[in-house]
């Protein structure tokens, strides 16, 4: 992750040349997923991260352009990507709810209930692996999965493609973004991913305090809470919700077992990371979620079982739920009542303004 | 050498004629043990009282102010209840049959034993349960608790229970007297669970009295455990259909 984040390759001339070569060769390569090129055309734009965030990692084969981001944004809010034209991506990732749905478990087409809590999309751009169980290795790979998922948008990809292909507005937008009007799954994925890379949450009171030199940005309780958050003998929160010297994602992008979801018989109804890896130690482990904007993304945990930040802090104060794969970092947590109250206050300091142009396209 | 083709043929035939389902592992059927049931015609009740000689220290107040929700939920001032005594009696002693029942197996009651977390306090503080009997754990509080039975013979575990969460249903698979229980969040919360493999146990009441009904005739070691005052034993012989009495007196430490 560090290597990816250490420099921004998009700005380097060699990278641009490479992109041209890739763009020229891709349509002819046998690895192509469809007949049309899925390489964005037009000049890549620089996504400037807000205070407290590192450079946004950009895959070499999907440099974001104004046109691909605009297309992704339109797709994101389009319910036609669902079987009955009622459920858009934004249905579960509503910008008014911190790009979540505020529900314990998400509702898909026909009111079907999923098994997990919708994670925020804020800063998903930085995650090395996507989904609670990390089963997708990029935003591109992740983007279309909920469209076809039977308990989410439940629409076969060929149906989505033909629905979009018959719409003149999309034809123009796909042409602008990818050089021709053709719709392909890969183009949809790339446009959605590029839009998602613009959903960045930083410049919070914490960032202004920690990285902006504004020592008034946090309240005294929040400053105490930050100290508890970092203290390995008290909160030990940074063991997973990382804070770096010049930026903070509040997640290590890794998978940990807090015991959340273990039942009376010691079993996990949702086996988490194990579902992907089939490694026993991954049973009940889930991706560390970012804590950015966490005050606006209740309820919490992969199954949405904890309703408030206080309940979350108390869950950790109790060292979670014992089980054979419990992360050792849970065992050292020691929180007094004041520590717990301060931590809750600190968590409220992680919300900053979202960039413009993230809402439904019609309204902007 | 001549037998080789025949063997091969046999193997082929064997392989060819087993298209049916693979042999199912036989489900683990534990042999139903013969449960011992005391004969009501001969069984008797053992009664007694647990007393405290001398003066007991004043119970110390407990400060819950670090969790204001606990202060509100507790209703009234909290005091240390590790030693509860009224006029020389001792409450919350655990009385059980330590020996004398060897070779007898007792049915596990189907009714659960309940422990509640209410007012940031365990209710009851001292409880007995049979091996494999269900312990139902309730959180009646508006705050999260994390119950942690610090078992040594049984498996140690802890589990978070938020406000309004469903009860937990757990059990202990081996006898263990006593398992100290704490809440990982609220340091003042304590309980003790006595796990025994028979139904003959009691917890002394406010007046120090206890009653163990239905004991079959025999000679037993009756043991008493108290949270701060330690343990005592006495031999007791139960004659057929004859109520017996045994008292214990602890000294303050």
Q: What is the pLDDT of residue B30?
A: 66
Mean pLDDT of the A57-81 span: 98
Q: Is the pLDDT of residue A2 over 70?
A: no
| B136–chain A Cβ distance below 8 A for any pair | no
> A264, B67: Cβ pair inside 8 Å?
no
Residues of chain A with C-beta less than 8 angstroms from the C-beta of B170: 264
Using 50, 70 and 90 to split pLDDT, how confident is the model at B33? Answer: confident
Q: What is the average pLDDT value for chain A, to the nearest integer? A: 91
Residues of chain A with C-beta less than 8 angstroms from the C-beta of B143: 314
Q: In this predicted structure, which of A177-181, B25-29, B62-66, B103-107 has the lowest mean pLDDT?
A: B25-29
Fold of A2-200: Cytochrome Bc1 Complex; Chain D, domain 2 (1.10.760)
Asked casually if ipTM beats, i.e. exceeds, 0.90, the reply is no
Nearest residue to B182 (alpha-carbon basis) of B206, B217, B146: B146
Q: Is the pLDDT of residue B38 over 90?
A: yes
pTM as predicted? 0.87
> B159, A307: Cβ pair inside 8 Å?
no
Q: What is the pLDDT of residue B32?
A: 75
Q: What is the pLDDT of residue A362?
A: 76
Q: Counting Cβ atoms within 10 Å, is residue A135 exposed (0-12), middle (13-18) or buried (19+)?
A: middle
User: Can you give chain A as a three-state secondary structure string?
Assistant: CHHHHCCCHHHCHHHHHHHHHHHHHHHHCCCCCCCCCCCCCCCECCCCCCCCCCCCCCCCCCCCEHHHHHHHHHHHCCHHHCCCCCCCHHHHCEHHHCCECCCCCCECHHHCECCCCCCCCCCHHHCCCECCCCCECCHHHHHCHHHHCCCCCCCCHHHHHHHHHCCHHHHHHHHHHHCCCCCCHHHHHHHHHHHHCCCCCCCCHHHHHHCCCCCCCCCHHHHHHHHHHHCCCCCCHHHCCCCCCCCCCCCCCCEECCCCCECCCCCECCCECHHHHCCHHHCCEEECCCCCCHHHCCCECCCCCECCHHHHHHHHHCCCCCCCCCCHHHHCCCCCHHHHHHHHHHHHHHCCCCCCCCCCHHHC
Residues of chain A with C-beta less than 8 angstroms from the C-beta of B183: 318
The closest CB to that of B143, out of A264, A314, A335, belongs to A314
Measure in Å the smallest separation between the Cα of B114 and chain A Cα atoms: 15
Q: Is the pLDDT of residue A11 over 80?
A: no
Q: What is the pLDDT of residue A10?
A: 41
Structure tokens at A110: 């026909």
Q: What is the pLDDT of residue B116?
A: 98
Domain A2-200 shares a fold with domain A205-350: yes
Residue of chain B nearest A259, judged by CA positions: B159
| B63–chain A Cβ distance below 8 A for any pair | no
Q: Which of B112, B142, B144, B182 is the mutation pick for testing A, counting most A CBs within 10 A? A: B144
Q: What is the average pLDDT value for chain B, to the nearest integer? A: 90
The closest CB to that of A319, out of B143, B144, B158, belongs to B158
Query: Which candidate in A2, A140, A141, A152 is catalytic?
Result: A152
Q: Is the pLDDT of residue A26 over 50?
A: no
Using 50, 70 and 90 to split pLDDT, how confident is the model at A16? Answer: very low
Mean pLDDT of the B44-72 span: 94
Mean pLDDT of the A223-236 span: 98
Using 50, 70 and 90 to split pLDDT, how confident is the model at B35? Answer: very high
Specify whether A152 is catalytic: yes
Mean pLDDT of the B225-248 span: 97
> A314, B65: Cβ pair inside 8 Å?
no
Q: In what order do the strands lie in the sheet with B168-170?
A: B122-123, B113-117, B135-139, B168-170
Q: Is the pLDDT of residue B209 over 50?
A: yes
Q: What is the pLDDT of residue A36?
A: 83
Using 50, 70 and 90 to split pLDDT, how confident is the model at A211? Answer: very high
Per-residue pLDDT of B131-153, as tens digits, reads: 999 999 999 999 999 999 999 99
Using 50, 70 and 90 to split pLDDT, how confident is the model at B26? Answer: low
> B170, A305: Cβ pair inside 8 Å?
no
Mean pLDDT of the B155-183 span: 97
Using 50, 70 and 90 to split pLDDT, how confident is the model at B23? Answer: low
Residue contacts between A and B (CB atoms, under 8 Å):
56
Q: What is the pLDDT of residue B122?
A: 98
> B158, A317: Cβ pair inside 8 Å?
no
Measure in Å the smallest separation between the Cα of B83 and chain A Cα atoms: 26
Q: Let me know if domain A205-350 sits in CATH 1.10.760.10.
A: yes
Per-residue pLDDT of A104-154, as tens digits, reads: 999 999 999 999 999 999 999 999 999 999 999 999 999 999 999 999 999
Q: What is the pLDDT of residue A209?
A: 98
Using 50, 70 and 90 to split pLDDT, how confident is the model at B27? Answer: low
Mean pLDDT of the A84-90 span: 96
Q: Which of B142, B185, B187 is the mutation pick for testing A, counting most A CBs within 10 A? A: B185
> A318, B144: Cβ pair inside 8 Å?
yes
> A317, B65: Cβ pair inside 8 Å?
no
Q: What is the pLDDT of residue B56?
A: 84
Mean pLDDT of the A238-255 span: 98
> B162, A311: Cβ pair inside 8 Å?
yes
Structure tokens at A191: 């446009």
Q: What is the pLDDT of residue A252?
A: 98
Q: Where are the domains of chain A?
A: 2-200, 205-350
Q: What is the pLDDT of residue A34?
A: 54
Q: Is the pLDDT of residue B19 over 90?
A: no
The closest CB to that of A322, out of B157, B162, B163, belongs to B157
Measure in Å the smallest separation between the Cα of B12 and chain A Cα atoms: 36
Mean pLDDT of the B95-109 span: 97
| A304–chain B Cβ distance below 8 A for any pair | no
Mean pLDDT of the A75-80 span: 98
Per-residue pLDDT of A312-345, as tens digits, reads: 999 999 999 999 999 999 999 999 999 999 999 9
The closest CB to that of B170, out of A260, A264, A310, belongs to A264
> A318, B170: Cβ pair inside 8 Å?
no
Residue of chain A nearest B69, judged by CA positions: A337
């Amino acid at each position: 992750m560090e290597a990816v984040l250490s420099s921004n390759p998009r700005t380097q001339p060699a990278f641009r040349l490479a992109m041209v070569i890739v763009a020229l060769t891709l349509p002819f390569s046998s690895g192509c997923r469809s007949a049309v090129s899925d390489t964005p055309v037009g000049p890549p734009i620089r996504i400037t991260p807000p205070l407290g965030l590192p450079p946004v990692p950009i895959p070499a084969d999907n440099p974001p352009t104004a046109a691909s981001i605009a297309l992704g944004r339109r797709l994101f809010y389009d319910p036609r990507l669902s079987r009955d034209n009622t459920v858009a991506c934004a249905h579960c990732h509503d910008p008014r709810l911190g790009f979540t749905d505020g529900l314990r478990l998400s509702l898909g087409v026909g009111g079907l209930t999923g098994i997990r809590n919708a994670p925020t999309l804020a800063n998903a751009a930085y995650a090395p692996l996507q989904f609670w169980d990390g089963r997708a290795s990029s935003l591109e790979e992740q983007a279309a999965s909920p469209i076809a998922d039977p308990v989410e948008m439940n629409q076969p990809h060929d149906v989505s493609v033909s629905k979009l292909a018959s719409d003149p507005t999309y034809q123009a937008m796909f042409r602008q973004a990818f050089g021709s009007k053709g719709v392909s799954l890969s183009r949809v994925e790339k446009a959605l991913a590029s839009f998602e890379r613009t959903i960045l949450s930083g410049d919070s009171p914490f960032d202004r305090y920690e990285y902006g030199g504004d020592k008034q940005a946090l309240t005294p309780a929040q400053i105490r809470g930050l100290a508890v958050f970092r203290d390995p003998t008290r909160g030990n929160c940074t063991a997973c919700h990382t804070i770096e010297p010049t930026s903070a994602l509040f997640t290590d992008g890794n998978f940990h077992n807090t015991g959340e979801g273990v039942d009376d018989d010691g079993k996990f109804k949702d086996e988490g990371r194990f579902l992907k890896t089939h490694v026993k130690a991954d049973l009940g482990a889930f991706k560390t979620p970012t804590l950015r904007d966490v005050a606006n993304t209740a309820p919490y945990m992969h199954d949405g079982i904890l309703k408030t930040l206080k309940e979350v802090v108390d869950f950790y104060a109790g060292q979670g739920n014992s089980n054979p794969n419990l992360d050792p970092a849970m065992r050292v947590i020691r929180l007094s009542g004041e520590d717990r109250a301060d931590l809750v206050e600190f968590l409220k300091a992680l919300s900053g303004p979202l960039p413009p142009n993230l809402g439904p396209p019609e309204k902007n | 050498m001549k037998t080789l083709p025949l063997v091969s043929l046999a193997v082929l035939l064997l392989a060819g004629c087993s298209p049916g389902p693979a042999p199912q592992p036989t489900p683990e059927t534990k042999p139903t043990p013969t449960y011992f049931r005391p004969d009501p015609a001969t069984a008797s009740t053992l009664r007694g009282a647990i007393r405290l000689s001398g003066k007991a220290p004043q119970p110390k107040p407990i400060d819950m102010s670090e969790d204001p929700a606990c202060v509100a939920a507790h209703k009234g001032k909290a005091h240390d209840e590790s030693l509860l005594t009224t006029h020389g009696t001792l409450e919350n002693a655990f009385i059980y049959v330590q020996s004398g029942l060897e070779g007898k197996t007792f049915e596990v009651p189907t009714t659960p034993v309940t422990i509640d977390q209410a007012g940031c306090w365990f209710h009851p503080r001292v409880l007995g349960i049979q091996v494999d009997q269900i312990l139902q754990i309730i959180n009646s509080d508006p705050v999260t608790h994390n119950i942690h039975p610090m078992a040594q013979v049984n498996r140690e575990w802890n589990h978070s229970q938020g406000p309004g969460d469903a009860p937990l249903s757990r059990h202990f698979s081996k006898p263990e007297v006593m398992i100290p229980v704490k809440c990982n969040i609220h340091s003042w919360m304590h309980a003790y669970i006595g796990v025994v493999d028979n139904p003959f146990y009691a917890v002394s009441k406010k007046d120090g009295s206890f009653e163990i009904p239905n004991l079959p005739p025999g000679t037993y070691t009756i043991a008493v455990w108290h949270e701060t005052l330690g343990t005592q034993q006495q031999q007791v012989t139960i004659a057929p259909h004859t109520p017996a009495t045994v008292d214990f007196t602890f000294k303050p430490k």
